[in-house]
Chain A
Amino acid sequence: MSRIYRERKVNQPVKITEQDVEQVALFSRLELTEEDKAVYTESLNTILDYLDMLDKLDTNNIEPAAHVLSFKNVFREDKLQSSLAKELVLANAPEEEAGCFKVPRIV
């Protein structure tokens, strides 16, 4: 489960294998058929090849921009505010019991 990803360094493109796709599918909580695995391995490699063009660009002294505006943390007064009624929140639940979302057994 905790197989370490092979590290992909800049300017050292790495092809991903079906085992990598299996691993990433698990992280993504997706279930793939054998056929899916082959298809996604090929299509993800096509995309990764395309993304390798970014290696042409020297970005050593560039700051990363996760956002374009300089946001500050947003605070509000710690006062009680109204929220949605419990029935409304649970109305879309696939399964509920005693005012809670019900899930299959976990342990």
Chain B
Amino acid sequence: MRLYNLSVFQLSELMEKKEISSEELTNAYLERISQVESGTKVFVTLSKGTALAQARDVDQKRARGEELSPLAGIPMAMDDNICTEGIKTTCASKILYNFIPPYDATVAERLKGAGAILMGKCNIDEFGMGSSTENSAFYTTQNPFDAEAAQGYISGGSAAAVSVGEAAFTLGSDTGGFIRQSAASCGVIGLKPSYGHVSRFGLISTASSLDQIGPFTQDMTDLALVLNTICGHDVKDATSASVDVPDFTKSLVNEVKGLRIGLPKEYEAGVEPQVAAKLQEAISKLEELGAICEEVAMPHTEYAAPAHYIISSAEASSNLARFDGVRHGLRVEAEDVLSMFKKTRSQGFGAEVKKRIMLGTHVLSTGNYDAYYVKALKVRSLVKQDFDRAFEKFDCLLTPTNPATAGKTGKNPNDSLAMHLSGVCTLPVNLAGLPALSLPFGMVDGMPVGLQLIARHFKEETLLRVGYTLEQSTNQTRPKPGLFLKYNIHRG
């Protein structure tokens, strides 16, 4: 039995029955990591010591008969822009290369409280700017399905970790689609929750009105278990919403009869025919199960990407002003304070981040503010209105996650615009703050395909229900990466 191939729910049952201990499980994961990490490059930091200590602590609690969360003793990981007390958090940037947060992000605190075992911190694009890890200051995480490592399929540390079994589940952050796009490319489930549903306290902000923390899991049951732990109001995040959080496991219902599913035609422009065929397959399946699928017009879709580019860059230029060599991270010494700021920031930030900061500063400056920034905020209203109208008639919307098979990294690493445009199906969702799920749906040419489901604000339950029904009735097992043939390690 390969423990790293089991779901959170299955592992939890094994521990409940005392067939394995959390320490044994943690060691099994550490062994798996030591086998594959040199190929995948998932982690920026491994926290082996604290992981084993946490695991022993959970085992003791279990031995004492304490009531434990289903996540207790489960090895997990999170993106390196989520603060973890005493464990380095770099945002995959040179400017924070040595930053050790003195506190936990609320999500980290909640998972710690539930007894989940933090194995380490996952590679991202520097400050989350991108959806491929190409912009990480350290290295690019390999897509586990891209056996030659040369085709340039996008990946993300937290998505790849779940895909290859370096963590049973992970948390990432989604500003324009990172969670959903990398989950689709790595053949796992990724969810961007509704804005306000999961606390952002301790998430190092890039674009505060767009960022959300969300989970990567192997199946829908695990997704419900993780959401039950991380969702909910937090006084430390002023944008956290005071809404009741349901028990998400109650939404794991294998039934979509009568459910109205909208199909935005605008999202299919530029989608590869093979991906469109997979989408059609899902639509036929849902109709067969009694769902009502109809086209819906979302006329402002094409304007979402440029509006997102302006708003995210503007917010990032303001958020990243705090990195100045005074309180944490890199400092490049200079004679006077202005030179110190400039030298520190120029050497600390990578090329893409600098470009976004400058663009953001430009669109916020006098004379440009109305033409770019306010204009983008107005377009945001229009994009949101498209969704509002669609949800008057439909319970959820179904689209591809990535326009190409698995999403490819830009051929030219400086072509950040092409990379941005690969988020054409995911960016509008962040502008509107809605919850959206990417669900693996088979393979095309050896690469996984992801489908995106979008629901009304705070209606993650609809996503869980449709996702669970598709998972149960298509009988599709999670796609297995082929990467390890290259390393002579077979995934069982």
Contact = CB atoms under 8 A, between A and B. Distances in A.
Nearest to B341: A29
Interface in A57-107: 57, 59, 62-69, 71, 74, 76, 84, 88-89, 91-95, 101, 103-106
Contacts of B417: 46-47, 50
B150 to A, nearest CB: 26
A27 B314 CA distance: 13
Interface in B316-347: 317, 321, 324-331, 333-343, 345-346
Interface string B363-399: 0011110111011111111101000000000000000
A30 B377 contact: no
Contacts of B368: 5, 7-8
A52 B99 CA distance: 39
Task: Tell me what chain B mostly uses at the interface: helix, strand, loop, or mixed.
Answer: helix
Interface stretch (B46-54, B354-362, B439-447): B354-362
B358 A44 contact: yes
Q: Which residue, of A6, A7, A40, A104, has the highest number of chain B Cβ atoms within 10 A?
A: A104
Given A27-B361, A104-B334, A51 B310 contact: yes
Nearest to A59: B378
A30 B342 contact: yes
Nearest to A56: B303
Given A31-B343, A54-B376, A62-B382, A68 B195 contact: yes
A24 interface: yes
Given A29-B342, A30-B354, A69-B241, A64 B381 contact: yes
A28 B378 contact: no
B100 A51 contact: no
B365 A27 contact: yes
Nearest to B382: A62
Size class of the contact patch on chain B: 35 or more
A10 B361 contact: no
Task: Tell me what chain A mostly uses at the interface: helix, strand, loop, or mixed.
Answer: loop
B359 A47 contact: yes
B209 A67 contact: yes
Contacts of A20: 362
B377 A5 contact: no
A57 to B, nearest CB: 6
Given A8-B371, A10-B375, A57 B325 contact: no
A68 B339 CA distance: 39
Contacts of B340: 103-104
B103 interface: yes
A31 B342 contact: yes
B209 A106 contact: no
Nearest to A51: B306
A16 B99 CA distance: 36
Interface of A: 4-10, 16, 20-21, 24-25, 27-32, 40, 43-44, 46-47, 50-51, 53-54, 57, 59, 62-69, 71, 74, 76, 84, 88-89, 91-95, 101, 103-106
26 contacts: A7-B367, A24-B362, A28-B354, A29-B321, A31-B345, A31-B346, A40-B358, A43-B414, A44-B358, A51-B306, A51-B309, A54-B303, A59-B378, A59-B382, A62-B378, A64-B380, A65-B380, A67-B209, A69-B195, A69-B196, A89-B102, A92-B99, A94-B326, A104-B336, A104-B340, A105-B336
- 6 residue pairs, one from A and one from B, having the closest CB atoms: A64-B377, A68-B433, A94-B331, A92-B328, A7-B367, A59-B378
